[in-house]
Structure 1
Amino acid sequence: MTESLTFYGGLTTIGGVHIVYGCGDTGLVFDLGMTWGLYAGETRIQPEHGIRNYLLTRMAPPVTGLYHPDYLGDVGEAELRGVWGKESLPSFDKLHGFVSHIHQDHMALLPALRPGIPVWMHRDAQAVYRAVIAAGEYGDTQADIHTVQDREIVNFGAFSVEFIEVDHDTPGVTGFIIHGPKYKIAFTADWRRHGRHPYRIDGFIERCRSARVDVLITEGTRLRPDTLFRKPKDRFEQNVAVECRRAMEDTNGLVYVNILARNVERVADLIVRTREAGRTLVMDESTAVLWHEAGPNVEVLRNHPALEIDRDIIRVLKNPEWSKGPQSKESVELPYKTITISEITTNRRQYAVYLIYPHTPLLAELESMGEQGCTAPIYVHADGNPLTPTDETLHRWLKEFGVDYRYCATGGHAAPQEIADMAEAIDPRILIPLHSVHPTLLDSRGVKRYYPTPGESITLDQLVGQITSV
């Protein structure tokens, strides 16, 4: 039975990985996110045109039967063949999707999928996704979500998939090994070694070694010319919340914290460290909903002390009616007390404000009103949007109000040397680095590499059996 791989997205971009594994009449699409920034700037894709615009700009994979037919309008297979310059597109009687984790570049297509299509993800990833929906960040999906656990094996008929949890900066990140009729393909998902659970990476490597994986597909986000000869020094994940607490102890003014809310393990640690610093954590409604809905339902946070103290530590700064987005969820009843701008500015030394990037202009009120004479406020930027420490808009706001800036990122991706170590340890017959702007920079330690082109479809016999040089 012929096994094939078709490559669409994420080959020379960070995120937006779109690969289709086909075996007989069954196909598996992984992942289901989008590459951001290709058509960004002042333009915005409108929701009513969403998936059509994404498909016609190659930001979404052109897989027949993947999307809700009502959303496609007049965009059909003929148009998509023209966009990709192909005579045919992947089509399967049995189609499945896979989401490795709940970051936008891996899950943003979920609301556009056709009703009932089976989509597989880790149970903790599903819990975060439900929280993201409740918070109004994304619409729901009509796909049929199937949750899996670490090391669970699911039979797809002609092949099986062994799901293996790895470590990244959001819960439930899962790679896999496809056990096909003839070949075995491993996909790392996004991963790192400096997080809370590096043992998961060791387990992934060992399982790939024992399974004698033929093809290893790995992310390479941090492959850059400046990282080739010197391994970057990473801050350990556990230290991020400690740095936030240190900021709260270093000033009697307000402390602002910007963390991506989907990293609920980090948010849990932040809640604990805020209490240790003797402060109260102020959240906007959306962030509070995401935490409240995800925290108790994420298995990895079972028995975390944050779940016992969050009602005492968290206060909610309610959004004015005019600022609420179209997907805002009014039905979520939060157990936290509310707070006003006036209450915060009356005693700044008592509070830490969880300030997401779109709410940066709140600095105007929080720093201009109320209590005066405090030492300089501090802004801790810990992997929240914008992901770069050099965003000019953010720094103009901070400079305007005399807010000290502390960059406290640690990120979710492996150093190039760690990727090379993994490739050497697993020793696949073929290595495919992607999810990277510079995939060709990877030192494969002698493992043969392959660099697919967008839209390329290749059988595993061709890929594994006929490639003789890197």
Structure 2
Amino acid sequence: MNQSHQNEERITFYGGLTTIGGVHILYSCGDTGIVFDLGMARGFFKGEVSVQSDFGIRSFLLTRMAPPVMGLYDPALLGDVGEAELAQVWGKDHFPQVNNLHGFVSHIHQDHMALLPSLRAGLPVWMHRDAYAVYEAVVAAGEYEGTQADIRLIEDGQIVNFGTFRIEFIEVDHDSPGVTGFIIHGPQHRIAFTADWRRHGRNSYRMDRFIERCQSAGVDLLITEGTRMRPDTLFRKPKDRLEVEVAVECRRAMEDTEGLVYVNILARNVERIADLIIRTQEAGRQLVMDESTAILWGEASKKLRVLAGHQALDADQDVIRLLKTPQWSKGPQRTMEVEFPYEPITLNEITANKSQFAVFLTYPHTPLIAELETFGSCASASIYVHADGNPLTSSDETLLKWLTEFGVQYRYCATGGHAAPQEIAELTTRISPKLVIPLHSMHPTLFNSGGISKYCPAPGESYELSELVGKQFTR
């Protein structure tokens, strides 16, 4: 291999370009490359139309929901699906491939990590140690299968040398622990990837630090998420609820009624669950969890460095009560036997004294409302606090029908994990790259880059970095 080929930097865009999530980008320098991220957008699969995340890799590849980088996957799962079939699906003659291949997972939301069970044994995959702690808990809770990949744990600020390039990993702020972006330091160019990020979280300072590192490195190409770029957000910056206020709103609901309070939070937001436990205790109630949620909380909270010193770790064990997962549930089915440290509770015990409990109610368990509302006192209305748990909308027809049927008050208490468009523009202008690429968005072309040259690639486009950052694009 000659020296010029060894130093050739190439970037290929596959997914997440006009969708929320499913970012798939291959950066390569010579014969070494890294794919980021390893998740999926919803695309062709939703609800009843689904496949297992391991053996479904054939369907994912043939619907362009997984990147056509053959070295990523377990050959036993691929079967006879090969590059020829994928070239037909993508309308390409060939795909860039590298022998020394790595993967990267920025955080443990399904649109960034769902391909983990499909990866080949021994594939090096880099992720923050707190993100991996959440993944182990998700697997233990039965939400996902494990992975055969060789997980390489990283710390905030760590620099890893890949030979022809190095990556500086930088923790950012999102609504999941261990979310990490990076700066790739190549032979000629610097690429920054923000991962998912926000300004209204508990660690906004991390974004200032990310900007400072990018300024210091002299970033040529900035790749940023743009989830909230929509026509209605172009001219007015929304006022976001602060992350620290969400659990306080949950406590307020517990103080506003003598009835039950239902709380729906994505369990992978472990820091928010920790806050909820404390606020539930302050309100004089106990928090009822199903088995899967209790496993996820218990397994993650034991390992997460970000929770070190949190009051929830020292809370009395009787703050949490354990409700056996209903047999009819289509929610996660736990795959490990666990000796729970929490006292069990029955539906009858809950309905006998509703003012004493808050029920962590995931979307698949919504039908429990029928029993919890029919039995026991109905003197005080129950309150349902919807705080970024599935479904990720305040207008879900099924959920609202259940609440209306049983007279349960609905409080939408979302804050989300994504930056406002104006904040993305501010980050971009402060970093001042030669080129910015907005993705992880339904409307990336709406991005106001503040005069910075921007580009919205099409799926399958591949460029040498010198060619890409040297082009003249819209501003």
Cα deviation, 1:190-217, whole Å, max 9, x if unaligned, reads: 0000000000000000000011000000
Query: Is 1:420–2:425 an aligned residue pair?
Result: yes
* C-alpha displacement of 1:64: 1.7
Match of 2:466 among 458, 461, 464: 461
The 5 Å alignment of 1:34-73 reads 34-40=40-46, 42-46=48-52, 49-73=55-79
Report if the CA contact (8 A) 1:357-1:385 is conserved. yes
Cα deviation, 1:355-375, whole Å, max 9, x if unaligned, reads: 000000000111111x22431
* C-alpha displacement of 1:91: 1.2
* Misfit runs of 4+, over 6 Å: none
Query: Is 1:210–2:216 an aligned residue pair?
Result: yes
> Match for residue 439 of structure 1?
444
Match of 1:390 among 371, 395, 401: 395
| Rounded Cα–Cα distance in structure 2 between residues aligned with 1:321 and 1:250 | 32
Q: Which amino acid in structure 2 is aligned with residue 436 of structure 1?
A: S
Query: Is 1:273–2:292 an aligned residue pair?
Result: no
1:405 match: secondary structure: strand
Report if the CA contact (8 A) 2:14-2:23 is conserved. yes
> Match for residue 344 of structure 1?
350
Query: Is 1:283–2:324 an aligned residue pair?
Result: no
Query: Is 1:399–2:404 an aligned residue pair?
Result: yes
> Match for residue 4 of structure 2?
none
> Match for residue 316 of structure 1?
322
Q: What's the Cα RMSD here?
A: 1.3
Q: With structure 2 as the length reference, what TM-score do the two structures score? A: 0.97
* C-alpha displacement of 1:26: 0.5
Query: Kindly tell me: are residues 385 and 425 of structure 1, through their superposed partners in 2, closer, same or farther at Cα, counting changes over 3 Å?
Result: same
| Rounded Cα–Cα distance in structure 2 between residues aligned with 1:324 and 1:43 | 14
Q: Which amino acid in structure 2 is aligned with residue 222 of structure 1?
A: R
Report if the CA contact (8 A) 1:234-1:410 is conserved. yes
1:425 match: secondary structure: helix
| Rounded Cα–Cα distance in structure 1 between residues aligned with 2:332 and 2:321 | 24
Query: Is 1:144–2:150 an aligned residue pair?
Result: yes
Query: Kindly tell me: are residues 3 and 274 of structure 1, through their superposed partners in 2, closer, same or farther at Cα, counting changes over 3 Å?
Result: same
* C-alpha displacement of 1:44: 2.3
* C-alpha displacement of 1:42: 4.4
| Rounded Cα–Cα distance in structure 2 between residues aligned with 1:422 and 1:49 | 40
List alignment gaps of at least 5 residues for structure 2. 1-6
Query: Is 1:158–2:164 an aligned residue pair?
Result: yes
Query: Is 1:26–2:32 an aligned residue pair?
Result: yes
| Rounded Cα–Cα distance in structure 2 between residues aligned with 1:386 and 1:422 | 30
List alignment gaps of at least 5 residues for structure 1. none
Q: Which amino acid in structure 2 is aligned with residue 136 of structure 1?
A: G
Report if the CA contact (8 A) 1:134-1:332 is conserved. no
Report if the CA contact (8 A) 1:139-1:327 is conserved. no
* C-alpha displacement of 1:310: 5.2
* C-alpha displacement of 1:86: 1.0
Deviates more, 1:4-13 or 1:42-51: 42-51
* C-alpha displacement of 1:39: 4.0
* C-alpha displacement of 1:468: 5.6
| Rounded Cα–Cα distance in structure 2 between residues aligned with 1:240 and 1:459 | 45
Cα deviation, 1:225-270, whole Å, max 9, x if unaligned, reads: 1101100010000000000000000000000000000000000000
Deviates more, 1:88-97 or 1:190-199: 88-97
1:306 match: secondary structure: helix
- % identical aligned pairs: 69
Query: Kindly tell me: are residues 143 and 16 of structure 1, through their superposed partners in 2, closer, same or farther at Cα, counting changes over 3 Å?
Result: same
Match of 1:228 among 195, 214, 234: 234
Report if the CA contact (8 A) 1:64-1:89 is conserved. no
Q: Which amino acid in structure 2 is aligned with residue 435 of structure 1?
A: H
Query: Is 1:94–2:94 an aligned residue pair?
Result: no
Query: Kindly tell me: are residues 17 and 48 of structure 1, through their superposed partners in 2, closer, same or farther at Cα, counting changes over 3 Å?
Result: closer
| Rounded Cα–Cα distance in structure 2 between residues aligned with 1:272 and 1:326 | 25
| Rounded Cα–Cα distance in structure 1 between residues aligned with 2:279 and 2:454 | 45
Query: Kindly tell me: are residues 62 and 124 of structure 1, through their superposed partners in 2, closer, same or farther at Cα, counting changes over 3 Å?
Result: same
Report if the CA contact (8 A) 2:288-2:360 is conserved. yes
* C-alpha displacement of 1:46: 4.8
Query: Is 1:189–2:204 an aligned residue pair?
Result: no
Number of paired residues?
A: 469
> Match for residue 3 of structure 2?
none
Q: Which amino acid in structure 2 is aligned with residue 446 of structure 1?
A: G
Match of 1:411 among 407, 416, 423: 416
Report if the CA contact (8 A) 1:138-1:327 is conserved. no
1:65 match: secondary structure: helix
* C-alpha displacement of 1:47: 5.6
| Rounded Cα–Cα distance in structure 1 between residues aligned with 2:395 and 2:366 | 15
Cα deviation, 1:80-120, whole Å, max 9, x if unaligned, reads: 11111111112111000000000000000000000000000
1:462 match: secondary structure: helix
1:20 match: secondary structure: strand
Query: Is 1:379–2:377 an aligned residue pair?
Result: no
| Rounded Cα–Cα distance in structure 2 between residues aligned with 1:305 and 1:39 | 39
Q: With structure 1 as the length reference, what TM-score do the two structures score? A: 0.98
Q: Which amino acid in structure 2 is aligned with residue 407 of structure 1?
A: Y
Query: Kindly tell me: are residues 104 and 157 of structure 1, through their superposed partners in 2, closer, same or farther at Cα, counting changes over 3 Å?
Result: same
> Match for residue 200 of structure 1?
206
